[in-house]
Structure 1
Amino acid sequence: MSATVDFAPLRDYLEATDLDGYCIDADASDSDQRYVSGFTAPDPYQTVVTPDGVHLLVSGLEYGRAKTEAAADSVTRRSEYDYRKLVAEHGPYEAKSRLIAAFLEDHGVDSLAVPRNFPTGTADGLREQGLSVTVEPEGLVEDVRSTKDEWELEQIRATQRANEAAMATAEELIATADVADDGSLVHDGEVLTSERVKTEIEVTLLRHGCGLDDTIVACAADGADPHDRGSGPLEVDELIVIDIFPRDKETGYFGDMTRTFARGDPGDEARRRYEVTEEAYEAALEAVEAGVTGEAVHDVACDVIEDAGYETLRSDPSTETGFIHSTGHGVGLDIHEQPSVAPSGGELEPGHVISIEPGIYDPAVGGVRIEDLIAVTEDGYENLTDYRVGLEPSSE
């Protein structure tokens, strides 16, 4: 199965602009391509949405699988247009242009809209073949993708369950470590490093059918940079930020969660920052419901942090400490997608999946961030994250 795609916004756009079709030229690492086609392939293929259906153009290598798996009304292979002969006569660049032009012509497309990241070479080549190519500036497919159906929500829940297992692995390593004379944490006779914890996180995710390119295990001053991946020994009495954002290998849907731990006593100021961050996280969660803007939710988090005496980018756009990022972002086939829970964030709708992740940062103290992944509902939210919030790590 795959998501139920609402093509109405695309077809409304085509009608309003008097265009014949909407074309994507990309491999399945492009989330719009994967979403619209319902198909994955490692090499670029073409998908066109017209008033009468969704049509794919693929290589012979992918044809059989596309016929079975793709969410398309028709699948055509390149050989039907004598692609090898086109390459021999015109070279690969012009051959591709002629191939796609012929495919589009067969589906009644003389003028087409394309996404903002459509390859320039393909667009120029199609124009040379006499087609009209218009870049649509609104990100229509990403906007459609932002509202998840129940099947998509279930995939994200599953990824988040894997995420929780990985976080439990990391937390247990920290909770059960010994403390060396120099203050570093030691597990099974070896220094417990950021790298070692990340490896155990990755192994746990693989066992749950998920993977990730990177994750964050950042101790002390490293954690004061929200995107510092962290490195080296983990230490007692220091804040440790763990941010895990895996992707299911089969479905492609992401999860996202952050917790901050401290083995030992990080000090009164660190504990206060944790309490304020937790208060901002809870206040932002309670502010979420359909019809509220992402900007309003972000403002609630900023209010709590500013009232506690810490800077935010709202109170001081040049600050390098305090709350120095937005409150959240959409999560789905991309780890960062629409909608935004930020100063420019628009209206939240049922089915939006967003992170809520306020934080407070200062290299002199370390970083604190708490993040859950939630789905917006008519009257509030469903928390897709089932993991305790607490500064002291636990092995239970």
Structure 2
Amino acid sequence: MTPALPQLTAFLDQAGIDGYLLDADGNDSHQYYLSGYHMLDEFVTLYADERVTLLLPGPECNQAERDSAGDEIRSRAEFRNAAELEDMDPRKARKRVTVDFLDAAGIDSVSVPVSFPVGTADLLREHGIEVVPEYEYVLDEIRAVKDDREIERIRETQRAAEDGMAAAEDLLERATVADGVLHLDGDPLTSERVRDRIERAVLDRGCGLDQCIVASGPAGARAHDPGTGPLQANVPIIIDIFPRNKRTRYFGDMTRTVVKGTPSDRTREWYALVSEASEAALDTVRAGVTGETVHAAVCDVFESAGYPTDRTADDPDSGFPHATGHGVGLDVHEAPYLAQQAGELEAGHVVTVEPGLYEQGTGGVRLEDLVVVTDDGYENVTDYPRDLRVV
């Protein structure tokens, strides 16, 4: 069963609201976190009086009794007796059932995430149930602190990311160079081909990829450009892998920069600075330190070397234009953040540390590890060489 969530209970009590309501499918991270249940279609989860109740289609109830974290499972069929449902579009009727479900639970007011469906909210309000959007992001903050089981699940997924990185490096190492372009088995070695090999490697660990980055040359300097076409020799190739475990639904995340051939002096200089910035950030990470302080440690390194950062320029194209890191869990980007104005880190936060340097039209380098914040520092859950990977 779902453990009581004191922060959420305190928030509801302070706001004078009866419950916290979700209406989403199991791919929604809040839904999965609170219900512990994955279902392709939408369903309702209610947190009230330190208990979690799921409202599901009848055929799902037996499985949810076995697999979910709910304290109670209710079937929609229990609440389909209202006469007004008979002539209603079935899609709207499914939403309307939520009204009777809440009435039966004695719920007159609910707090909902800002992503809550407006159609459901309108129906609830039409029938006298107060719906209050929750802008304090309480559940985001709760999810940000991982327990030992969650950390182990993230660690398991990170092993898949490392396998994917090793598979990518193997392809690059076996490649040959002709006219500045990588070839393997007689064909150009493309970003797409390397991504396909990465995907097969993480699949062997029970994980999947919606996307990953294999970007050489100018593509490496563009934010989240996945890379396309033949890979270039002697220039940095940024490989950023963020798989999701199909069973636990937790993500991993790591980045390395690889050069096939001979890296330029500038590439080596950039990577040395990125490594220095990474170490500066890691030396700062611990509970009680703000994410802004960690980000500042990285910016200090780059700014001292004459490069712009998001602290010295508005939306710089080059230099260090992005945050130092972000939380990882049921989403690949979630709280907390290592960035300007970011708040205090807590033990149990799992964050990336990913400084990089870029120049538009040329390329870039990035180094990313995944760490668990502890009271006196951090634990690095990434077990992969951190040097510039030259193959």
TM-score, reference length from structure 1: 0.95
Residues 1-396 of structure 1: pairs in structure 2 closer than 5 A: 5-82=3-80, 87-92=85-90, 94-180=92-178, 182-394=179-391
Question: Is 1:5–1:35's contact at 8 Å kept on the other side of the alignment?
Answer: no
My pick for the range that moved more, 101-110 or 248-257, is 101-110
Give the Cα–Cα distance (whole angstroms) in 2 for the partners of residues 196 and 91 of structure 1.
47
Letter in structure 2 aligned against 1:167: M
Shift of 1:94: 4.7
The alignment's C-alpha RMSD in Å is 1.5
Letter in structure 1 aligned against 2:130: S
My pick for the range that moved more, 153-162 or 360-369, is 360-369
Partner of 1:80, secondary structure, is helix
Partner of 1:319, secondary structure, is coil
Letter in structure 2 aligned against 1:252: R
Question: Is 1:98–1:129's contact at 8 Å kept on the other side of the alignment?
Answer: no
Give the Cα–Cα distance (whole angstroms) in 2 for the partners of residues 209 and 97 of structure 1.
35
Shift of 1:283: 1.0
Letter in structure 2 aligned against 1:244: I
Give the Cα–Cα distance (whole angstroms) in 1 for the partners of residues 236 and 295 of structure 2.
24
CA offsets 1:55-98 (integer angstroms, 9 cap, x no match)? 11000121111111111111011111236976433333552343
Give the unaligned 5+ runs of structure 1.
none
How many corresponding residue pairs?
Answer: 391
Q: Could you say if the C-alpha distance between residues 318 and 98 of structure 1 is closer, same or farther in structure 2, counting changes exceeding 3 Å? A: closer
Question: Is 2:4–2:51's contact at 8 Å kept on the other side of the alignment?
Answer: no
Give the Cα–Cα distance (whole angstroms) in 2 for the partners of residues 281 and 123 of structure 1.
45
Give the Cα–Cα distance (whole angstroms) in 2 for the partners of residues 302 and 112 of structure 1.
42
Percent of counterpart pairs with the same letter? 49
Letter in structure 2 aligned against 1:58: L
Partner of 1:90, secondary structure, is coil
Question: Is 1:294–1:344's contact at 8 Å kept on the other side of the alignment?
Answer: yes
Letter in structure 1 aligned against 2:374: T
Give the Cα–Cα distance (whole angstroms) in 1 for the partners of residues 240 and 85 of structure 2.
47
Query: Where has structure 1 moved over 3 Å in runs of 4 or more?
Result: 83-87
Question: Is 1:97–1:129's contact at 8 Å kept on the other side of the alignment?
Answer: no
My pick for the range that moved more, 112-121 or 294-303, is 112-121
Question: Is 1:220–1:363's contact at 8 Å kept on the other side of the alignment?
Answer: no
Shift of 1:361: 0.4
